[in-house]
Amino acid sequence: MLWKKPLVIQTREGTFTIRGPAEALDYMASHWPEKPGYMVGLARRRCSEALDNPARLRVAKLAFRAAVVEIGMFPDRPRRPRAGAQV
């Protein structure tokens, strides 16, 4: 199961593209800092649920994104051109 759009995170180790709940669970198991937080537990539960229930994909992504923000690894946001800038 994959999300419609992947979540790209910037860390000190580099850039990671997370495409769905299975990759999010793997990332949390292998790259997550030892920093405790409420959202990481929630993200693990929601991502596990989404593996069995595609209707939970959006909720899993939101929970994972919140966990990323909670520990200070901000998701990469696409930059919008400034007004008047040529694209």
User: How many domains does the structure of the chain reveal?
Assistant: 1
Answer yes or no: is 55 within a domain.
yes
In a domain, 1, yes or no: no
What is the extent of the structural domain holding 63? 7-70
Q: Is residue 77 part of a domain?
A: no
In a domain, 21, yes or no: yes
User: pLDDT digit of tens for each residue in the chain (87 aa)?
Assistant: 899 999 998 888 888 999 999 999 999 999 888 877 899 999 999 999 999 999 999 999 999 999 998 888 776 654 454 555 444
pLDDT of residue 57: 96
Q: Is 86 a domain residue?
A: no
Asked whether 42 and 63 are in contact (CB, 8 A), the reply is yes
Is residue 34, in this structure, part of any structural domain at all? yes
Q: How many CB atoms lie within 10 A of CB 51?
A: 15
Q: Specify the pLDDT at position 29.
A: 93
The crossing angle, in degrees rounded to 10, of helices 38-52 and 57-70 is 160
Tokens of 72: 């200070």
